[in-house]
Amino acid sequence: MTHAASAGAGAPGSPPAGPARLTDVAALAGVSVGTASKALNGGGRMRPETRQRVLDAVATLGFRPNQHAQNLHTGRSWTVGLMTTDGIGRFSTPVLLGAEDALGAGKISVLLCDTRGDAIREQHHLRNLIDRRVDGIIVTGRRTDPRPPLTGVSGLETIPVVYALSPSTDPADTSVVSDDRGGAQLAVEHLLSTGRTRVAHVTGPEHHAAARDRARHGIGHLTDAGLELSTGRVHFGEWSEAWGRRAAEAVLRTAPETDAFFCGNDQIARGVADTLRERGVNVPGDIAVVGYDNWDTMALASRPPLTTIDMNLAEIGRIAALRLLEAIDAEGGALPGAHTVACRLVVREST
């Protein structure tokens, strides 16, 4: 009995006793080892049915290629670095998830590095990524302000880099960003379509690009419609509910005829909605409120739930990953310049 079992394990056509090897795959597919290798690497000229026989043999035997050997053969590590300055992850997490989805489809592993906005930590992570011979790097952050390009580490010049959400200050670099002009237009046009004509704008710190850009574009779209801000100015402040509450009070004192608020983010918009509710103002009957970011934690918990602008952060990450893959496959730099991703309007009960 023991003798028969031993003989059966080595019988022709039977599964190998240990982990399957490339020679086992070749034997089962009826091809040479070289042909099997080319079929797995996607190289070589062969008939489709030959390649399929190799793939079928791989599935039957549960063969796992030697990744190290493949890397030596192709000169690639099949890994990509994702660097973020956003330790909280409010904005960078959706971007990174979108990038990972696109990279995962190509069976590329992702190495996540959080620099926490520290230049020394960034250099440390950058050296580690280069030592690991990553095929490319995606850089993102928690703000839309332009950031300096990655520099200062030997070997970086040969690796494609794409910046997502936070663009590079170098126009020769590839950046994928949100279309704040389009987002502001969606917000203003939606308010105008509901009959609002006296719009106030409450937003974050003036030194933040997102606050400045959304304010500038919002005013521009009102001007195009022959209107101006109800209070005659932008209310810059903080990205917080507390600021939204205070700003709403100030707006209603200055311009009680205001019939809409376009807010720079959802936290501010929720604070505005709180003040309006406490003062007995009907939202949206008397005053409509539009936020920005489509942050579910804020937008859905607001009373009423907020109409808001979604920045399509996951799509920004996905497009950044695709641009990076194109650069890697082309063995050259990615297409330079800033590439914008359209925002979308999410309508809820606040308008």
Query: Could you tell me if 167 and 156 are in contact, meaning their C-beta atoms sit under 8 angstroms apart?
Result: no
Cis, bond preceding 304 (omega within 30 deg of 0): yes
Give 287-298 pLDDT, tens digit per residue: 999 999 999 999
Which DSSP string corresponds to 165-218? SS-BS-TTSEEEEE-HHHHHHHHHHHHHHTT---EEEEES-TTSHHHHHHHHHH
The three-state secondary structure class of 229 is coil
Q: pTM of the entire structure? A: 0.78
**Would you state the pLDDT for residue 39?**
75
Give, rounded to a whole angstrom, the gap between the first and last alpha carbons of the chain.
80
- Residue 331: which region, alpha, beta or left (left: phi > 0; alpha: psi -120 to 50)? left
Between residues 206 and 36, the one the model is more confident about = 206
Q: What are phi and psi of 149, to 5 degrees?
A: -70, 160
Please give the Cα distance from 268 to 280 (Å, whole number): 19
Residue 10, pLDDT score: 43
HEC readout, 78-131: CEEEEEECCCCCCCHHHHHHHHHHHHHHCCCEEEEEECCCCHHHHHHHHHHHHH
In sequence order, the β-bridge partners of residue 203 are: 236
- How confident is the model over 74-99, as pLDDT tens digits? 557 789 999 998 766 778 889 988 99
Q: What is the Cα–Cα distance from 147 to 169, expressed in whole angstroms?
A: 6
Single-letter amino acid, residue 112 = L
Q: Residue 16: pLDDT band by 50, 70, 90 thresholds?
A: low
Q: How confident is the model at residue 328 (pLDDT cuts 50, 70, 90)?
A: confident
